Amino acid sequence: MIHSKYGFHFVGAKLRDGSPVPPDGEWLCVTSPLKMCGHGLHGSPTAFEALQYAPGTVLCWCEFGGNILRGTDKFCAESRRILARFDATEILRAHARQSALSVIHLWRAPEVVRQYLGTGDESIRSEARSAAAAYADADAAYAAYAAAAADAAAYARKRILEQASERLQAAVDAKFKELCP
């Protein structure tokens, strides 16, 4: 039985097997039997789900064909072709900053950290990273506070992940609409 599905796939400089990333429109094919995480061409229904398997920052919108195994957050197919792609570095950084800001109330973040997370100003990124590390090293009570924050964050995790997924997908959809009007 032949199936067709569309989804997202991140790539780095090369594919996981070391071969070059094919040009847009070129089909890659493997033979059955397919094995999730073992043998096949993988993808995910959303960019957020694909992110956990990302070997690089180039996000591809792909068509998958042939037999397809379906998992909870990914699928494995006999064939895949890239329809469009872009370097998602800036979208991913913005997503990470938004996620960090959603829990910033759980600690006394230095002002430069708040400023970087709010603006994304790359000129203060290194200073913000150093200030956050120094804060963690200097605050002896941080470990206990972090444990309490982790409990609170775990409680809110599902809602935060859903919101983060929606924000990331909206940004990705907007970018692909630019590329594929």
Q: With 60 as the cut, is the pLDDT of residue 136 above it?
A: yes
pLDDT tens digits, 5-19 = 999 999 999 988 889
Q: With 50 as the cut, is the pLDDT of residue 77 above it?
A: yes
What DSSP string describes the chain?
A: --EEEEEEEEE-SB-TTSPBPPPTTPEEE-PSPPBTTTBSEEEBSSHHHHHTT-SSSEEEEEEEEEEEEE-SS-EEEEEEEEEEEEE-HHHHHHHHHHHHHTTGGGS---HHHHHHHHH--GGGHHHHHHHHHHHHHH-TTHHHHHHHHHHHHHHHHHHHHHHHHHHHHHHHHHHHHHH--
Query: Looking at residue 74, what is its pLDDT?
Result: 94
pTM of the predicted model over 0.85: no
Query: Looking at residue 161, what is its pLDDT?
Result: 59
Query: Looking at residue 128, what is its pLDDT?
Result: 85
141 — pLDDT class (breaks 50, 70, 90): very low
Q: With 50 as the cut, is the pLDDT of residue 160 above it?
A: yes
pLDDT tens digits, 85-98 = 989 988 888 888 88
Query: Looking at residue 181, what is its pLDDT?
Result: 62
Query: Looking at residue 159, what is its pLDDT?
Result: 56
pLDDT tens digits, 18-52 = 899 999 999 999 988 998 888 999 999 998 899 88
